[in-house]
Amino acid sequence: MRKVTFMLWMLCVAAIACALPPTGIEYPPLQYSLPKAERVVLPNGIVLYVLEDHDLPLVDVEVRLRGGRLYEPAEKAGLSIVFARAWRNGGTLARSPEAFHTAIEDMAAILDVADEDDTIGISLSTLARDWRKGLSLLVELVRTPAFREEQVNLAKARTVEEIRRRNDDIAGIASREFAGLVYGVNHPLGRLPSVQTVQKITRRDLLEWHRRLVTPRNLWIAVTGDVQRDAVIQEIGRLFGNWNGSQPRLPAVPLPKEQNATTAFIAKQAEQAHVRVGHLGVPRGVAERAALDVLNYILGGSFTSRLTQEIRDRRGLAYAVWSSLAPANPTGLFVMGCQTKSESAEEVIHLMKEQARRLTEEPPGKEELQQAKESLVNSFVFRFPTAHDAVVAQMLLEIHGLPRDTYDTYIQRVQAVTDQDVLQVARKYVHPDRLQVLVVGDGKKLAKLAAQAKRLQAR
């Protein structure tokens, strides 16, 4: 959801920029650097990122650990979601759930636990005057959660209810089932929790999951805000200093297998058809990341993209059409998508395939290349709305094993991208002969397509 929201927000920024009239005024290239957090490693292995930011009387804390749904056992898919919910709401060994909630609410603080696919995040936002108390509560939850049976059952019930309702959202069906089509339904990135797998989860599973994952050598902490650097390091050392443990051994995540080109269809009564076209994408840390961003901007990552011009502007077949080449562990998705009238679905699919093919056959034009580069450079500052977002981003580079100067060099790398760079990465990472298609829509209105396609059921 965060990725989708960010992408839509960036499209709006690009649209506004394109709508501004030319002024004839030339501006110097944007110079921007992320605020630099100090990195400290505690004796027990905890990695701490600290940045003082005294603009507002607030303190934000983010704890991350490697884990998440990517590593959960297939027979208990949904474990990480239930784990995060029961962790947050199950209280601690010293406090009941009600007492813990009250302690957080009395400070007007916000504390949350979330599954982030290959990490688990615990976030805290509090007033500066309460940062020590808030941090103490956070540490209490990290180290001694109770996972009380009642809260475990509530977390499971909520997850089951979401599973039962997830097929009410047609766009959600299209995105989830496209991932299943490309990755395979048995791969962690294509697998979905079911009522049966969630019901198998026990309190003992959550306690064991916590015991395995939550150790000092699997913990990164980012602290940003109106606080003194020395005080933060001292307090975290006091709260965590007597805690030791080894680095957990996470199961290896298999590389998904490249699938042959296919067209699949899911019947769902709807006014419009939801279309997804693509294949396996790129892993984190590819050297051509800047060129791929330029490629995606040109293809479907902006309101001036080729897909938008062909499908929306010239033919009026969709209100919005987009593409994505987001990296992931072990590999992301390359996907083009939109919703359109059922009668237009086949034409839209043809146009998407044609634009993917075009990318691999000719370099971008001078003007569209320059516009893509300028937009990416000028919008880079908006990737990190707050200093805390920037610090967490730097921390995640380390967690994901990426170069620490990734963001420092990004603008320069984008500015250096040439038309031949875009053509080369298109030929390397975009494969028109492997494109997989998924259409979700009304079987009667899409009878011809449905008859020729592989029929799937929404899980």
Measured between alpha carbons, how far is 45 from 216 in angstroms, rounded to an integer?
A: 6
Question: Domain 38-240: which topology?
Answer: Cytochrome Bc1 Complex; Chain A, domain 1 (3.30.830)
Helices (DSSP H) in 282-341: which residue ranges?
Answer: 289-299, 306-307
Classify residue 328 by its DSSP letter.
Answer: B
Please provide the CATH number assigned to the domain covering 258-456: 3.30.830.10
List 276's β-bridge partners, or say none.
337, 438
Predicted TM-score (pTM) of the model is: 0.90
pLDDT of residue 353: 98
- Does residue 109 carry a pLDDT above 90? yes
- Does residue 1 carry a pLDDT above 70? no
pLDDT of residue 27: 53
Measured between alpha carbons, how far is 420 from 409 in angstroms, rounded to an integer?
A: 20
Measured between alpha carbons, how far is 317 from 25 in angstroms, rounded to an integer?
A: 36
- Does residue 30 carry a pLDDT above 90? no
Count of other CB atoms within 10 angstroms of residue 177: 24
Average pLDDT value for residue range 189-218 = 97
Residues 241-292 have pLDDT tens digits of 899 999 999 999 999 999 899 999 999 999 999 999 999 999 999 999 999 9
Domain pair 38-240 / 258-456, same fold: yes
Residue 2: pLDDT band (50, 70, 90) is: very low
Query: Which residue has better confidence, 225 or 6?
Result: 225
Query: Which residue has better confidence, 315 or 13?
Result: 315
Average pLDDT value for residue range 17-40 = 66
Average pLDDT value for residue range 348-361 = 98
Residue 34: pLDDT band (50, 70, 90) is: confident
Nearest-5° angle of CA 3, CA 7, CA 13? 145
- Does residue 199 carry a pLDDT above 80? yes
Measured between alpha carbons, how far is 439 from 424 in angstroms, rounded to an integer?
A: 30
- Does residue 15 carry a pLDDT above 90? no
Residue 28: pLDDT band (50, 70, 90) is: low
- Cis check for the bond before 363: say yes or no (omega within 30 of 0): no
- Mean pLDDT, the chain, whole residue set: 93
Residues 36-61 have pLDDT tens digits of 999 999 999 999 999 999 999 999 99
- Does residue 412 carry a pLDDT above 90? yes
Rg (the chain; Cα; Å): 24
pLDDT of residue 232: 97
- Two tokens, residue 224: 């940003």
Q: Report the relative pairing of strands 262-267 and 454-456 from DSSP bridges.
A: parallel
Can you tell me which residue has the tokens 């292995």? 45
Is the Cβ–Cβ distance between 78 and 193 less than 8 Å? yes
Quick one: what percent of the chain has pLDDT higher than 70?
A: 93
- Does residue 186 carry a pLDDT above 60? yes
Measured between alpha carbons, how far is 427 from 425 in angstroms, rounded to an integer?
A: 5
Residues 155-183 have pLDDT tens digits of 999 999 999 999 999 999 999 999 999 99
Annotated domain spans of the chain: 38-240, 258-456
Measured between alpha carbons, how far is 431 from 388 in angstroms, rounded to an integer?
A: 38
- Two tokens, residue 347: 């034409």
* Least confident stretch, 9-18, 318-327, 387-396: 9-18
- Does residue 416 carry a pLDDT above 50? yes
Measured between alpha carbons, how far is 193 from 201 in angstroms, rounded to an integer?
A: 11
Is residue 72 packed enough to be buried (19+ CB in 10 Å), middle (13-18) or exposed (0-12)? Answer: buried
Measured between alpha carbons, how far is 182 from 190 in angstroms, rounded to an integer?
A: 8
